[in-house]
Every structure is written in C-alpha cells, then in structure tokens.
C-alpha cells in the first residue's frame, strides 16, 4: 500500500532543511522541481519498495540557506553535504525538471555518488530551435496549461481558480494552498539557480559522457514546457540510457500519471 512521507529536519551547513522520508530498503533520493513538491502519489507507491528520501532544497518550503547558493555548483555541494548527513554512498536518484537537472549535474561531477539515475522531464540543456518555455512572469492559469495535459486535474483547476480570484474575500474559490503556494514562494530560489542562463548550464551537454550510472529518461508526451528534444538528447548522450514516453501527461507528469511513473521506476531500479 502507498505510504505517507513523514517530515523531519536536518541541520546542514546551509541551515535547517526539511526532509520527507518513507519506506525501507535501498535508498531512492527524489529531487523536486521548481514547484518544491515534497510528496506525490508516485513517491508514496515507490515507498513500498524503497526508502524514499525527499530533501527540500534551500529556499523551497521551510528549508533555509538559499542566500548562500548562487548556482548549480553550490547546489551540487549542498547535495554532497546531504549525502554525508544521510550516510548515503551511491543511492538511486530521481529528479523532476529542475531536480533532474541537479541530479544530472551531480552525476557528471561526482559519478561515484549516483547508483542509478532517473530523469523526468529534465531541464538543464540548451537545444537550438527547441527552447524551454518561459516560466517566469506567467499567470497561474498559463502555467497550468504548460504543466498539465488535463486542465480538470485538481491542481490545474486550482491554478486556474487563482487567475479567477480577484481579491474578493467573499468569493468562494477552492485553492489547495499547500500545493500551489510553494510554487510562488519558490520563484526567487528558482531564479537563483536558473535565471541567466535560463534553466540550463551551457557546459552540461558536453559533460553527459561522464555519467556512469544506468539512466532512465522519462518524458511526458504533452509536456508544454520542455520540448521533446531535451529528453531525447539526454537519452542519446548518456551512455546506455533508456528513454520512455508516457502519454496523456504534461510537465508535472508525477501528478497526472503516478502509477505509470512508479511502475517504470520500480522496474528500472529492480
């Protein structure tokens, strides 16, 4: 049965950070997207088979220390600190979008620290004629159209409701703040990591050959933010990587197709 991830706190060199944990067995570290998600149904399902660890990056949720992080190099060193604190050797690492970029940076710089690698709708590369859609400055409804294939999904509907909300305190609008608000709180943290150059490291593509971990790349067929060429390039330029495409899902694939994603990841990790 799916397991609920439980929150704890870690004292790190960056300050106190949130960690969500569930399950037992081989460790699986999940690195979240710019949305700062600390749990979703795919992780809860995977906790049946693995010890799932979800560190909340500085500047997201209640984690401290974003003022000392100025880019991906600092992000990787923060991950190395977490690995030491959690006594991790070479765990499986799964990342969504921004988190997938972090995972790829770790796997190229310190390949011995990643046992297996799962990249879901990854950013991090610059692909000519296939730019990543601009996320900064967009309304909630516009973001929902990029993030979800199904605009009736509860989170997508809540984001559209935010656009409809005009400040009338008497207006009844159901918005799951615990899901939507962290995205807005996290925009400044995301900007520190990926404002300029926008959501990529110009040197990363040339370093993908350094990844030694078996790698699964997962792409959502209706991703409205990251063109297919990005996942395809990761899969082509990481030796032995496998690419899987999940239909009827967009950028926030884990929220739309959690069972399909969990099954792919479980089979890949063994």
Contact by Cβ (8 Å): 182, 35? yes
Residue 111 forms part of a structural domain? yes
What per-residue confidence (pLDDT) applies to 162?
77
What per-residue confidence (pLDDT) applies to 177?
53
| Closest listed residue to residue 73, CA positions, set 204, 198, 195, 185 | 204
User: Which DSSP helix (H) or strand (E) runs through 46?
Assistant: helix 41-46
Spatial separation of the C-alpha atoms in residues 255 and 270, rounded to whole Å: 23
Q: Which two tokens stand for residue 67?
A: 């003022």
Spatial separation of the C-alpha atoms in residues 264 and 244, rounded to whole Å: 8
What per-residue confidence (pLDDT) applies to 170?
52
Q: Write down the H helix ranges in 165-227.
A: 177-185, 187-194, 204-207
What per-residue confidence (pLDDT) applies to 189?
87
Q: What is the pLDDT along the chain (270 residues), one digit of tens a residue?
A: 789 999 999 999 999 999 999 999 999 999 999 989 999 999 999 999 999 999 999 999 999 999 989 899 999 999 999 999 999 999 999 999 999 999 999 999 999 999 999 999 999 999 999 999 998 888 888 999 999 999 999 989 988 887 766 455 555 555 555 555 566 667 788 988 888 899 999 999 999 999 999 999 999 999 999 999 999 999 999 999 999 999 999 999 999 999 999 999 999 999
Backbone angles phi, psi at 186, to 5 degrees: -90, -5
The CATH number linked to 110 is 3.40.50.1820
Residue 157 forms part of a structural domain? no
What per-residue confidence (pLDDT) applies to 111?
98
Side-chain-side CA neighbours of 13 within 13 Å: the count stands at 13
Residue 208 is part of which domain span? 6-133+187-269
Q: Beta strand pairing status for 51-55 and 15-22?
A: antiparallel
Residue 178 forms part of a structural domain? no
Q: Which two tokens stand for residue 245?
A: 């495409």
Q: Which two tokens stand for residue 111?
A: 């390949």
What per-residue confidence (pLDDT) applies to 235?
98
Count of domains forming the chain: 1
- The H helix count followed by the E strand count for the chain is 11, 8
What per-residue confidence (pLDDT) applies to 171?
53
What per-residue confidence (pLDDT) applies to 172?
53
Looking up tokens 């990643």 gives 114
Q: Which two tokens stand for residue 135?
A: 């996320």
Residue 19 forms part of a structural domain? yes
Sheet order of strands, 242-246 included? 6-12, 15-22, 51-55, 27-31, 92-96, 116-120, 215-220, 242-246
What per-residue confidence (pLDDT) applies to 77?
97
What per-residue confidence (pLDDT) applies to 266?
98
Residue 161 forms part of a structural domain? no
Residue 39 forms part of a structural domain? yes
């Amino acid at each position: 049965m799916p397991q609920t991830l439980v929150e704890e706190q870690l004292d790190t060199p960056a300050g106190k950070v949130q960690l969500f944990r569930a399950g037992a067995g081989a460790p699986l570290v999940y690195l979240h997207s710019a949305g700062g998600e600390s749990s979703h149904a795919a992780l809860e399902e995977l906790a049946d088979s693995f010890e799932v660890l979800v560190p909340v990056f500085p500047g997201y949720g209640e984690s401290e220390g974003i003022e000392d992080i100025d880019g991906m190099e600092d992000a990787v060193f923060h991950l190395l600190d977490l690995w030491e604190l959690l006594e991790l050797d070479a765990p499986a690492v799964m990342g969504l979008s921004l988190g997938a970029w972090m995972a790829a940076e770790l796997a190229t710089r310190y390949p011995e620290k990643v046992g297996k690698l799962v990249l879901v709708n990854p950013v991090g590369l610059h692909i000519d004629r296939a730019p990543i859609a601009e996320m900064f400055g967009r309304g909630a409804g516009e973001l929902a159209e990029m993030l979800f294939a199904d605009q009736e999904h509860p989170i997508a509907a809540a984001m559209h409701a935010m656009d409809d909300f005009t400040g009338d305190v008497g207006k009844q609008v159901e918005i799951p703040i615990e899901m939507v608000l962290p995205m807005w709180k996290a925009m400044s943290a995301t900007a520190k990591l990926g404002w300029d150059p926008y959501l990529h490291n110009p040197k990363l593509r040339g370093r993908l050959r350094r990844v030694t971990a078996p790698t699964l790349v997962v792409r959502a067929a209706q991703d409205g933010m990251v063109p297919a060429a990005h996942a395809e390039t990761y899969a082509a330029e990481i030796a032995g990587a496998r690419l899987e495409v999940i239909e009827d899902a967009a950028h926030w694939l884990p929220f739309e197709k959690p069972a399909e994603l969990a099954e792919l990841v479980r089979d890949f990790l063994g």
